C-alpha cells in the first residue's frame, strides 16, 4: 500500500478533485438549483469520490468506494500508478495460517473470550471501512483503517473550512 500523501497535499488534491467532481455531477444529473436534498447528496457523493480518487487506487477502501460509485457517476477512472492487488492465494495461505493459530489458541479459555470480543469489534469495523469485508487478515484491515481515518479527517477538515468560508462570503454579500 502506497503511504498517504501528507495532510496538506491530500487536502489540496482533494479540493481540486472535489470541485471537478461537483461540476461533473451537476452536468450529469442536471440538478435543479432549488433542490436542496439533491444538492446535499451531490455534495456528499462528490466529496466521497474525490477522497477516494486522491488515493488513486492505492488502497482497498479507495478502490471499493470508486467501484461503488462508478455506476452512478459515469466516469471511468484511470489510476496512474495503481499497484497490482495482492494475489488471492497469499490471502488464502494467511487465512489458513491464522485459522491454525486461532484453533490452537482456543484451548486457553481466557484468551479465547478476549479474542471473541476482538473478533466481534473487528467485524463491526469491517462494515464501517469500505471494502473491509474483502480483507481476510487483521493487519490489512487495520492498515486500511488507518489510511481511511486519516483521509476522512482531511475530508471533514476541508468541508468544515469550506462551510466557514461560505459563511464569510455570504456575510460579505449581505454587508
Partner 1 sequence: MSSRRTSRQQSSGVPRISDDQIIQLVSKLRQLLPELRHSRRSDKVSASKVLQETCNYIRSLHREVEDLSDRLSELLSTIDADSPEAAIIRSLLM
Smallest separation, CB 80 to partner 1 (Å):
22
| Residue 83 to residue 102: CA distance in whole angstroms | 31
Contact region with partner 1 (CB under 8 A), list: 52-60, 62-70, 71-79, 131-139? 131-139
The set of cell numbers assigned to 6 is 501528507
Which of residues 44, 57, 85, 134 is near partner 1 by CB under 8 A?
44
Smallest separation, CB 61 to partner 1 (Å):
11
Specify the residue, 47 or 66, whose C-beta has the smaller distance to partner 1: 47
* DSSP string computed for 25-89: HHHHHT--TT-HHHHHHHHHHHHHHHHHHHHTTSSHHHHHHHHHHHHHH------SSPPPPPPHH
Q: Give yes or no for residue 162 binding partner 1 (CB under 8 A).
A: yes
Sorted by sequence, the CB contacts under 8 Å of residue 151 that are 6+ apart come out as: 4, 10, 51, 54, 55, 62
Which residues of this chain interact with partner 1, rule CB under 8 A? 11-12, 15, 19-20, 22-23, 26, 33, 36-37, 39-44, 47, 89-90, 93-94, 96-97, 100-101, 104, 114, 117-118, 121-122, 124-125, 128-129, 137-139, 142-143, 145-146, 148-150, 152-153, 155-156, 158-163, 165-170
Amino acid at each position: 500500500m502506497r503511504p498517504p500523501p501528507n495532510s496538506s497535499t491530500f487536502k489540496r488534491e482533494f479540493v481540486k478533485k472535489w470541485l471537478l467532481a461537483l461540476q461533473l455531477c451537476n452536468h450529469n444529473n442536471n440538478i435543479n438549483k432549488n433542490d436542496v436534498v439533491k444538492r446535499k447528496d451531490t455534495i456528499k457523493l462528490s466529496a466521497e469520490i474525490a477522497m477516494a480518487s486522491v488515493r488513486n487506487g492505492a488502497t482497498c477502501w479507495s478502490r471499493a468506494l470508486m467501484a461503488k460509485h462508478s455506476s452512478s457517476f459515469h466516469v471511468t477512472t484511470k489510476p496512474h500508478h495503481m499497484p497490482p492487488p495482492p494475489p488471492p492465494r497469499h490471502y488464502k495461505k494467511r487465512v489458513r495460517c491464522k485459522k491454525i493459530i486461532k484453533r490452537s489458541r482456543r484451548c486457553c479459555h481466557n484468551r479465547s473470550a478476549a479474542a471473541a470480543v476482538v473478533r466481534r469489534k473487528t467485524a463491526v469495523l469491517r462494515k464501517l471501512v469500505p471494502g473491509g469485508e474483502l480483507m481476510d487478515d487483521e493487519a490489512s484491515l487495520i492498515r486500511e483503517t488507518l489510511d481511511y481515518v486519516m483521509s476522512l479527517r482531511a475530508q471533514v477538515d476541508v468541508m468544515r473550512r469550506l462551510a466557514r468560508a461560505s459563511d464569510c462570503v455570504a456575510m460579505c454579500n449581505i454587508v
